[in-house]
Structure 1
Amino acid sequence: MRIHCYQHAAFETPGILLDWAARHGHPWTYTRLYEPDPQFPAPADYDWLLVLGGVMGVHEEAEYAWLRAEKAGIRAAIGAGKVVLGICLGAQLLAEALGATVYRNPDLEIGFWPLAPDPAATRQPLFSHFTQPLTVLHWHGDTFELPAGAGPLGSSAACARQGFGFDNRVVGLQFHPELTPDILAQMLHHDGHELLPGPWVQPAAELQRRSAELAAGNAFLLELVDKLAALNR
């Protein structure tokens, strides 16, 4: 299984998904959007598409001209029946590709906050393991409407839509279950200026202290990608 990744920042890698892919012998290719002249392969050149997070917003095409090509690539992957997983910004880009509106969340949400399952989540094969609240790392200012035909994942106190599944092969996750403590440390170093005071923003020292709690989101994500693989052989 060939996995292609749209990566928006050098330090924001696929995280634990790299180990998962290595265990199963799945090779990676990348479109590194922080490098000059990024190239977007055709869907025939990969089996899965992973779209990672980033500081940019889905509407900032004037500042990040490659967003147009990236959005076209995501729509092409969905149209070709590929497995597509989007995390944070990636989830917002998937939501827009599926016709939903992306907009500013009422509050900035950065920190380890509980994620509660939607009552409909466990009725979806991909989310059937999500039966109890889960504390995960959030780092976002935007959110999205639920795309038509998609099933909801759940919500947090600060954000009503934390994820969705579509056609058992397209998944958007607003939070960050892929992170390792090292990646979190890099995010704090490069993007720590985003930790503006607010009701749902934890300080850098607390995020560092609680980095071991990333393991819960990691476990959720690993079970999810196992199910994606089993349902899309």
Structure 2
Amino acid sequence: MSFRTDQSRVVVPFASRRPAAITPRDQNLDQMSAQVSLRPVLIVLHRETSTPGRVGNALRALGYRLDIRRPRFGDALPATLDGHAGAVIFGGPMSANDGDDYVRREIDWIAVPLREQRPFLGICLGAQMLARQLGAKVAPHPQGRVEVGYYPVRPTEAGRALCPDWPARVYHWHGEGFQLPAGADLLASGDDFPVQAFQFGNAFGLQFHPDVTYAMMHRWTARGCARMDSPGAQPGHLHFAERAVHDAAERAWLKHFIDGWIARVPQRQLLQAAE
């Protein structure tokens, strides 16, 4: 079942500073926001050895605990996100089109953060699952091309308004892409896979991998060398050469993005907490 709402049509920039004049109501909401932020962030991973990488590092640096679950290996997902500040579904070697029970359960579960308007982030496979939940098609490139390595992304006007200073190239590792879901805002586009980032209310999907650390890149290029023989893939040595050029910009962008994303606590949730 797909979950849709008209609330996705307004792109609100991530806040970069506090307002000049703070009212008592603002102070009360700030206190409630701090209480909400003490809740952990739900992290969904797909392999026994997977880690949340730099996204996890960025969240920990902001003071968040991580509630790591692996539904593929039997971990349950919560019926509500009342006990969490937000949720992130990461990538994996499987497809959002697979018929495995845990894949279908994860796609269906995304209705929870959408319904509750909690901060949600899908990265690569997670973004494809979000697209599927919203009724969009996920499929391989028609010519069998992949993005494995660094490729350019072009932020849209909405993407620049939301989060400035996008990197020129970002790290990818995927062979499938997705359509832009109905009602979503395109934040960044690409060449072989046109939809690279989108927003639907407080939910965001990123086709690329800003979460990948240097150690993760070593593991992926060593264990996933078969994927690097696919059309469009970059050879392993270029992954590290391009990282030396583009990683600082991608890392800075990710920090700004995570800072703004996790702060998107629904106003109604803060008002309820204040009562």
Check whether TM > 0.5. yes
Matched AA of 2:182: A
Pick the aligned partner of 1:211 from 229, 243, 246.
243
Aligned equivalent of 2:95, options 35, 41, 57: 57
Q: CA deviation at 1:11?
A: 4.0
Please tell me whether residue 178 in structure 1 is matched to residue 216 in structure 2: no
Q: SS state of the match for residue 45, structure 1?
A: coil
| RMSD of Structure 2 on Structure 1 (CA) | 1.9
Distance 1:110 1:220, change over 3 A: same
Where 1:5 maps in the other structure, the secondary structure is strand
Deviation of residue 121 (structure 1)?
A: 2.4
Bigger mean CA deviation after superposition, 175-184 or 212-221: 212-221
The answer as to 2:175 corresponding to 1:116 is no
Structure possessing the higher radius of gyration over alpha carbons: 2
1:41 corresponds to which residue? Answer: 78
Length-normalised TM-score, structure 1? 0.88
Q: Residues 165-203 of structure 1, C-alpha deviation per residue, up to 9 Å, x if partnerless?
A: 111x110000011111111111122322211242x2101
Residue 262 of structure 2 is matched in structure 1 by: 229
TM superposition shift of 1:48? 0.6
Q: Structure 2: which 5+ residue stretches go unaligned?
A: 1-36, 267-275
Structure with more helix by fraction: 2
**Is this contact kept in 1: 2:156–2:188, CA < 8 A?**
yes
SS at match of 1:113: strand
Cα distance in structure 2, aligned partners of 1:112 and 1:162: 13
* SS of equivalent residue, structure 2 residue 257: helix
Q: Which residue of 1 aligns with 2:198?
A: 164
Q: List gaps (5 residues or longer) in structure 1.
A: none
Deviates more, 1:9-18 or 1:139-148: 9-18
Query: CA separation in 2, counterparts of 1:197 and 1:142?
Result: 12
Bigger fraction of residues in strand? 1
Matched, 1:29 2:57: no
- Once structures 1 and 2 are overlaid, which stretch shifts more, 200-209 or 179-188? 200-209
> Displacement, 1:210?
3.1
Q: Partners in 1 of 2:62 and 2:260 — Cα distance?
A: 14
SS at match of 2:117: coil
What is the rounded CA distance, in whole Å, between the counterparts of 2:208 and 2:226 in structure 1?
19
Residue 175 of structure 2 corresponds to residue 141 of structure 1: yes
Choose the corresponding residue for 2:103, options 38, 63, 67.
Answer: 67
| Cα distance, 1:91 vs structure 2 | 0.5
The structure whose RCO (Cα within 8 Å, separation 6+) is larger is: 2
Partner AA of 1:204 in structure 2: G
Q: Quick one: distance in 1 between partners of 2:65 and 2:225?
A: 32
**2:225 is the counterpart of 1:187:** no
Q: Secondary structure at the match of 2:126?
A: helix
Instruction: Assess, with a 3 A threshold, how the Cα gap between structure 1 residues 38 and 49 changes in structure 2: closer, same or farther.
Output: same
Structure 2 match to 1:154: 188
Conservation of the 8 A alpha-carbon contact between 2:167 and 2:249: no
Counterparts of 1:17 and 1:178, CA distance in 2: 5
Kindly state the Cα deviation for residue 42 of structure 1 after the two structures are TM-superposed: 2.3
**Count, aligned residues:** 224
Q: Is the 8 A contact 1:7 1:32 kept in 2?
A: yes
Contact 1:52 1:90 in 2 (8 A): yes
Report how far residue 105 of structure 1 moved.
2.2
- How far the C-alpha of 1:133 sits from its partner, in A, is 5.6
Whole-Å separation in 1 of the counterparts to 2:138 and 2:115: 20
